[in-house]
Amino acid sequence: MSTSSRRAVLGAALAGAATAAVGLPATTAHAASWQLKWQPSASGDGLGAFETVEDDRADSHPAGHPHIFATGNNWRFNMHTVDRDTSTDRQRQEVTGLRNGSGSDYLKWNQGQTWRLTYSMYIPSSLKATTTFTHIMQMKQPGSGTSPIVTQSLRRVNGKQTIELNLATDGIIVGRADLDPLHDNWTDVDFQIKVGNGTAGSVRWILKSGGATVIDVSKTGVDTFLADRVRPKWGIYRSLGDTSGSLQDTYLLLTNLRGYQQV
């Protein structure tokens, strides 16, 4: 084949590839609809990345302050066995919301919207699953006394340590995975929620560790809205009613927090 003929064939092949790229697979096209809305840096934004910070709000352990802080590229949540929340049967060190910049601008998750959070978490072996609640992420309506809508929790099931996603409003366990392999490792979280009342909501929960998918589950036709708006929370929120002897001084690390809205 002559040089000019080879160039003609190559040109036709490239043109065909370009044409094929226009018709992207549905999964790629869907992924492209996520618009990045929140990209804080622990080293740059610190606790200013969040709408509110609930650091020992009962002032139960001044010697342990701060319990929540930025260290390098991570946000760290310390929990001591002596820490108490304003309700003394539980412990809470949490942050809430997605703040953009240093002012009062924060993202509001409203009914009918679809949002996505991705981040990495480090769960040390000292942060154990318990027989009662230990939440490390929640979706809630802002305001005191409101019930959780969705929780990512560490729970003992028949003596086994697990991590689960629970639709608290409907009382549905979306999925559950073994916690032991995740201890002392970084785990990537991908959480998606359509904010909907009654049966108009949906969620998807993906965990990956070491490049392998641990769990990928979803649930549609569920209630993910109470009133006002939905606001995410991270940290350690746990009951003191555990009967497995699993409560000890511990911590949680988060990094690479990202927030996306589907458009």
Average pLDDT over residues 92-120: 93
The pLDDT, as a whole number, for residue 146 is 85
Look at phi and psi of residue 159 and say left if phi exceeds 0, alpha if psi is from -120 to 50, else beta.
left
- The pair of structure tokens assigned to 220 is 């549609």
The pLDDT, as a whole number, for residue 103 is 67
The confidence band for 29, taking pLDDT boundaries of 50, 70 and 90, is very low
The pLDDT, as a whole number, for residue 105 is 87
| pTM score, whole prediction | 0.86
Spell 92-126 as b/e; 16+ CB within 10 A means b. bbbbbbbbbeeeeebbebebebbbbbbbbbbbeee
> Average model confidence (pLDDT) for the chain?
89
Average pLDDT over residues 170-193: 97
The pLDDT tens digits of the residues spanning 112-139 come to 999 999 999 999 999 999 999 999 999 9
The pLDDT, as a whole number, for residue 102 is 64
DSSP secondary structure letter of residue 183: T
Q: Which residue has the higher pLDDT, 44 or 6?
A: 44
Distance CA 110, CA 99 (A): 15
The confidence band for 143, taking pLDDT boundaries of 50, 70 and 90, is confident
* Sequence letter at residue 68: I
